[in-house]
Amino acid sequence: MKPKRDKSIIRRLVSSYITTVISISLVLFMLGLIGILALSSKRLSDYVKENISFSVFLKDDVKDADILRLQKNLDAAPYVKSTLFITKDMAADQLKKDLGEEFVEYLEYNPLPQAIEVKYYAEYANPDSIVIIERELKQFPQVSEVYYQKNLVSLINDNVNKISLIVLVFSILLLIVAIALINNTMRLSVYSKRFNIKTMQLVGATKSFIRWPFIKASVFQGIFAAVIAIALLSAVISVAERELDNIISLNDFSLIGVLFGIVILLGVLITALSSYFAVSRYLRLKSSELYF
């Protein structure tokens, strides 16, 4: 009878331990997701800004050598990330795809101008800088017009700032919720051992002696939970790496190292502190109060 009872107790303890670790790991996983957004927010905004296209339309009588010279000058400019020369035929093919019908045969000529598609570095892709760059580009004799969607540029910059603020506020709120959830999980774990704590205290054990096994166990739980959370985050980052190229990568050791380090630190720190305060609470209670 006793062996069966011992096995039942062991099963309950193991089940409680696993449940605690999984609960903490899921909370840390959510924190890690917000951490990915927070740490890679600048890259996300840079990615969006650097994919805005600016069209530099060329005059019809410009020679190929002059076009090549202009493109090389643009490539050498500190604000230009990349350039792509668009011929009249390429522009016509693209417009045909957009419209879904042939218009060159109908008009009997191609009215579209040659152009150089320019993409700027993120720090220059803002309304103030673009106005200065536009004025500079118009000074080239080969250029007839510089076109870009002014409203889109302003909208993207405004939204990037708003999103960064929202992510920051949401990260702080989620951190508070995570601390509360992990603290509650650790308190429930300690609650089941409250009579053992009081018994040890009654036989003369010091408070630090009683606390240490609980803190040590909680630290291991935090580490195990962090490892599980890191494994889940690695899977998410792998998917994001395939879908959003150059935004975040497992090969980016600076970003990933900071993220995983924060997850482990939070896992250990929150569980250890929660266990410390939970044990301290039961050490202060009288024996009669343990039943309530």
Most confident of 115-119, 176-180, 196-200: 115-119
Domain that holds residue 79: 53-148
- Domain match, 58 and 107 both: yes
Residue where one domain finishes, among candidates 102, 130, 148: 148
Residue 32, Cβ neighbours under 10 Å: how many? 24
Structural Rg of the chain based on CA atoms? 31
The model's pLDDT over 61-99, given as tens digits with 9 standing for 90+, comes to 888 888 888 889 888 888 888 888 888 777 767 766 766
Residues 227, 233, 239, 243, CA torsion sign: negative
Query: Is the CB of residue 83 less than 8 Å from the CB of residue 74?
Result: yes
Tally of domains in the chain: 2
Q: What predicted TM-score, i.e. pTM, was given to this entire model?
A: 0.64
- Name the DSSP class of 114: P
CA dist 11 and 6 (Å) reads 9
Residue where one domain finishes, among candidates 148, 178, 206: 148
- Name the DSSP class of 113: P
Query: Is the CB of residue 127 less than 8 Å from the CB of residue 153?
Result: yes
Residue where one domain finishes, among candidates 131, 148, 165: 148
- Domain match, 226 and 277 both: yes
CA dist 275 and 233 (Å) reads 26
Residue 118 DSSP SS3: strand
pLDDT value for 16 = 66
> Which of 79-83, 138-142, 184-188, 228-232 shows the lowest per-residue confidence on average (mean pLDDT)?
184-188
CA dist 84 and 97 (Å) reads 19
- Domain match, 192 and 271 both: yes
Query: At 6, is the pLDDT very low, low, confident or very high (cuts 50, 70, 90)?
Result: very low
Query: What is the CATH number for 92?
Result: 3.30.70.3040
- Domain match, 58 and 12 both: no
